[in-house]
Structure 1
Amino acid sequence: MNRISSHALINFALDLSSAVTTENSFERLIAAICATISCDAVALLLHEQGTLIPVAQRGLSPDVMGRRFLIHQHPRLKVICNEYKAVRFAADCALPDPYDGMICNHDTITVHSCMGITLYKNSQLLGVLTLDSVAPNQFDLLDNTSLDTLASLASGFLASRLIIDQLQSKTNQAQHILQAISEHNAEEHNQAEMIGTSTVIKSLKKSIRLAASSELTILIEGESGVGKELVARALHQQSNRKSKPLVYVNCAAIARHLIESELFGHVKGAFTNADKDRQGKFLLADGGTLFLDEIGELPLEVQGTLLRAIQHQEIQVVGRDTVRKVDVRIIAATNRHLEEEVNAGRFRNDLYHRLGAFPIHVPSLRERRSDIPLLAGFFTERTRRKLGLQQLTISGQAMESIVSYAWPGNIRELEHVISRAALYAREEMPTGVTTISPTHLTGLQLSYSSLQADKEVPSPTVEAQPPVDLKVQTDAFQRTLISDTLKHTNGNWSKAAQRLSMDRANLSRLAKRLGVKVEKKVTQQ
């Protein structure tokens, strides 16, 4: 047995004591582990309701930080978490390793040596340290006494760090950066997690934290697919109304003549087909939050009624003469530039200013490229679980393509590309380590060619062009392109959306706004 020297353990303890109050404390713990035990990769994962969440790592691919490991789906992690002492796995262990294909500079081989150390406070599992090496039997000769001492020091460090974080969170009236997973639906929580460490995402999280603690009306602005609904959920969950309902309304999906009924409710007989009383979204959200998505699509004639409801916190049910008081916080979202809509007379100026008491801009994926590997890892791990794969990784070349792509559809497009790529990769490698390669990334090459063509064609000078209305020209171009594509697909919206690299629902909404329709004729033979 090789005993870790007392000198090394003392240095380890000193390193931890000086790191516990620093912002990069988790990274300092990883560095201390590497200085004490020789290994190729080490990771610290926090335990949250049956899931292990990476918070710091060294030697693994960057996308690991975006993954969320459900313990019951990873046999080795399950074994580690069921023990109070260090667990070593033999080089020929049949249990699949969660990091196979993810060790930097060794992505073509599987992990040979693996060791896991659980970090407990009393009987509560706080987290796990995983150590990996490409050399067989790397950890076999380490004595258990030294490892127990190291685990105790690391556990005390982690418990102290988490207490500090909790105190800071309460002081700042914000939730802990690592949200507790919902007891009812862990997968739903994972979908609601805001992945990213870029400067713009940190700024966004700060804005959410500030706005959530107030009762101000929030206007969330950003392109399609950036995660505006995710921001709305975060605002609600961090507010004092989190125990009350968050009610979602898609303003673009409601027929004009039913909008007031949808928002405020109606009584039986108020209009044709109103065969029973129906509560509106304002009443359903009473005491909680009402999220008005696609607010820019709301017809002008309804905007005044909505403004009065927001201003006075009272509604009038369709078909009833009396008004009713409500207590609702409004969060609205749009991918339009509402200020331009106001100038064009399509949106009320007073409603715009009422909604924009606290505007929040959600950055596009192009503005946060450093987050792309983390998001890719997050979607890859989720797709792996859905497809039942042992392991799903992204090759270095594929990751380069993903990071350099323009992503006009933002996070939603990234998720769809990863999901499609995983299916193609599974077809070639259904067992073992399934790797996504550049050839599996469908739907990107056309955009690359278009971008390259744009670079090769010099832009005309502004002075050489006559004055044009950019919005009118853009709408005309989109209208023609969508119409031509629908003709080529015989009116098939799904195929048209695939050709245009768009989500079908977004294409349908855009076509509706542009007045593009598909008429189907019935002929008699």
Structure 2
Amino acid sequence: MTVLPTILLADLVTELPAPVRLQRLVSNLMAEFGGGAVVLLQKQQDYLKPVAMQGLAREALGRHFVVAHHPRLATIMASRQPVRFAPDSSLADPYDGLLDAQPEQPLAVHDCMGMSLYLEGECWGAITLDALEAGTFDAASEARLQHYSFLIEAIIRLCRLERDNRVLRQSRSDSEPRLVASQADSGIIGQSKALQQVLRQLDVVADSELPVLLLGETGTGKELFARRLHQLSPRSKKPLVYINCAALPETLAESELFGHVKGAFSGAGQDRAGRFEAADGGTLFLDEVGELPLSIQAKLLRVLQNGEVQRLGTDKPCQVNVRIVAATNRQLAERVQQGEFRADLYHRLSVYPLPIPPLRERELDILLLAGHFLEQNRVRLGFRSLRFAPEAEQLLLQYHWPGNVRELEHVLSRAAIQALSQGASRQDIVTLQADWLGLADTQQTAATALTEVAAPADLNGLTPKQTVLNGLTLEQTVLNGLTLKQALQCTQRQLIQAALQQHQQCWADAARSLGVDASNLHKLAQKLGLKANRGQP
């Protein structure tokens, strides 16, 4: 007799974090039924999102499977009973080519069954089981899955109750119901520690009325974080109004923000409300706020101070209640010192500054995001299946991503199109090769640029390009098996050691000679394992 019911019941009475509880569920089902993969998918709008899985490539966790685009998933979701597909079914499986336990040549799934899951009469999602070997699942397997469905749904229900209890313990006094953090569909994907830390801060500050300044490099997705903040705030039922300050012509910026009355200027044929009035009661998101002209900054400051806007062409003020969320990829503090941004406005906007981590600091999220964009391109271009070659995955993880998430999205779109230009058939399982990503040349260019950076001529007489890494140049090191990341770290380590030796272990002088800030040099050295404290390397 199977021990699975006993294991699942034991998990029901054991205190576990929800992600661990769900992962144990799929692992136990995998052990019970065998096969190649088990995936637990939660329904969100028109797609299914994996929340726990075993046996699939990691990037699959970032995919959103639109039900209408996957006939097997649509069939499963349309039934309240387990559904088993014949090994020779003509319906493509959403996991074709994605199973971990497959040879180098990707294979289609040959056996599949699944079942929709319901909580309190509403469809929660589905559980799917897949195998490469035909005949893995049979009628008895269907009956067992049906038998276990009550325990599976009970575990999911327990996770929901635990989440609701946490929300109640942190309950707020406002009467309007709002989304809890786990329900906010902002499109943010990732599980990295850096991202989760930002999301926790965002969830806390969302409940306040404080202005928030989102800081971060271009392409990090600041608009998605602003959307999440609005969804979790007391203003979620009111509008979120977006405005790109960098795209505002100075001559029209005042009208766009504050509105105008008929006849205020040539072409003003009727009264028009500005973005502040449109966002009344809600949130106004000022993207690229650092690009606002100084003349508009002064008027924006007045609105933030008094809560009043004055349409262009009239003296009559209008009261507005707007929360400001701003974003910039500029160093506003430096722009203040340079006289390009008002100090008083900067302090008004940066009551709660929130840095968004760049993609290179979210290494665990790269493949999840890649899987998400890969599924988008699969649907857009009509592929049966798109997957990564192992070398392509490795290159994605090693790349520096100066353009962050936006660059990753564009790279994968180009790679999918490149697959077609290389003769790939949309009906096959298409494996994206590393050289289709177009990152190899970029990586080499970056490496060359780093090694050719001007360095002090007195670093033992060596330039960075001449610095020896265990007896080899950078180019030779890469060819002898080190990854680019490892080779760059070796170069950095050698340069810092040489600079410190040249300047008698004076960190300030070494940093000056290397052209970097002293505090940044300390952080880099710590990361490279060169020093145990600020005093000695």
Q: TM-score range by the shorter chain?
A: 0.7 to 0.9
Counterpart Cα distance in 1 of 2:67 and 2:182: 17
Cα deviations across residues 66-89 of structure 1 (Å, max 9, x unaligned)?
Answer: 001111211111111222222222
Give the TM-score normalised by structure 2: 0.79
Q: CA deviation at 1:109?
A: 1.4
Q: CA deviation at 1:155?
A: 1.2
Q: CA deviation at 1:384?
A: 1.4
Residue 28 of structure 2: which of 25, 32, 47 is its match? 32
Residue 224 of structure 1: which of 198, 212, 218 is its match? 218
Residue 197 of structure 1: which of 191, 194, 215 is its match? 191
In structure 1, the residue matched to 2:250 is: 256
Change (3 A) 1:45 1:176: farther
Please say if residues 228 and 333 of structure 1, whose CA atoms lie closer than 8 Å, have aligned partners that are also in contact.
yes
**Counterpart residue identity of residue 55, structure 1:** V
1:447 paired with 2:452, answer: no
Alignment of 1:63-212 (within 5 A): 63-106=59-102, 108-140=106-138, 142-172=140-170, 175-179=179-183, 192-212=186-206
Aligned residues: 449
**Counterpart residue identity of residue 119, structure 2:** K
Change (3 A) 1:337 1:119: same
Counterpart Cα distance in 2 of 1:119 and 1:125: 6
Identity fraction in percent: 41
Counterpart Cα distance in 1 of 2:56 and 2:2: 29
Counterpart Cα distance in 2 of 1:256 and 1:122: 55
1:15 paired with 2:19, answer: no
> What stretches of structure 1 of length at least 5 have no aligned partner?
181-188, 465-525
Change (3 A) 1:339 1:140: same
Please say if residues 288 and 329 of structure 2, whose CA atoms lie closer than 8 Å, have aligned partners that are also in contact.
yes
Q: CA deviation at 1:458?
A: 6.2
Counterpart Cα distance in 2 of 1:389 and 1:413: 22
Cα deviations across residues 461-502 of structure 1 (Å, max 9, x unaligned)?
Answer: 3999xxxxxxxxxxxxxxxxxxxxxxxxxxxxxxxxxxxxxx
Change (3 A) 1:170 1:426: farther
Q: Secondary structure at the match of 1:27?
A: helix
Change (3 A) 1:53 1:32: same
Counterpart Cα distance in 2 of 1:385 and 1:178: 26
1:421 paired with 2:410, answer: no
Please say if residues 165 and 176 of structure 1, whose CA atoms lie closer than 8 Å, have aligned partners that are also in contact.
no
Cα deviations across residues 277-298 of structure 1 (Å, max 9, x unaligned)?
Answer: 2111111111111111111111
**Counterpart residue identity of residue 60, structure 1:** L
Please say if residues 244 and 288 of structure 1, whose CA atoms lie closer than 8 Å, have aligned partners that are also in contact.
yes
Counterpart Cα distance in 2 of 1:463 and 1:262: 56
> What stretches of structure 2 of length at least 5 have no aligned partner?
172-177, 460-537
Change (3 A) 1:209 1:178: closer
Change (3 A) 1:32 1:451: same
Counterpart Cα distance in 2 of 1:366 and 1:84: 43
In structure 1, the residue matched to 2:48 is: 52
1:275 paired with 2:273, answer: no
**Counterpart residue identity of residue 337, structure 2:** N
Cα deviations across residues 493-519 of structure 1 (Å, max 9, x unaligned)?
Answer: xxxxxxxxxxxxxxxxxxxxxxxxxxx
Change (3 A) 1:303 1:309: same
**Counterpart residue identity of residue 241, structure 1:** R
Change (3 A) 1:355 1:16: same
Q: CA deviation at 1:221?
A: 0.8
Change (3 A) 1:63 1:279: same
Q: Secondary structure at the match of 1:24?
A: helix
Please say if residues 181 and 203 of structure 2, whose CA atoms lie closer than 8 Å, have aligned partners that are also in contact.
no
Change (3 A) 1:448 1:141: same
In structure 2, the residue matched to 1:430 is: 426
Change (3 A) 1:317 1:66: same
Q: CA deviation at 1:28?
A: 1.4
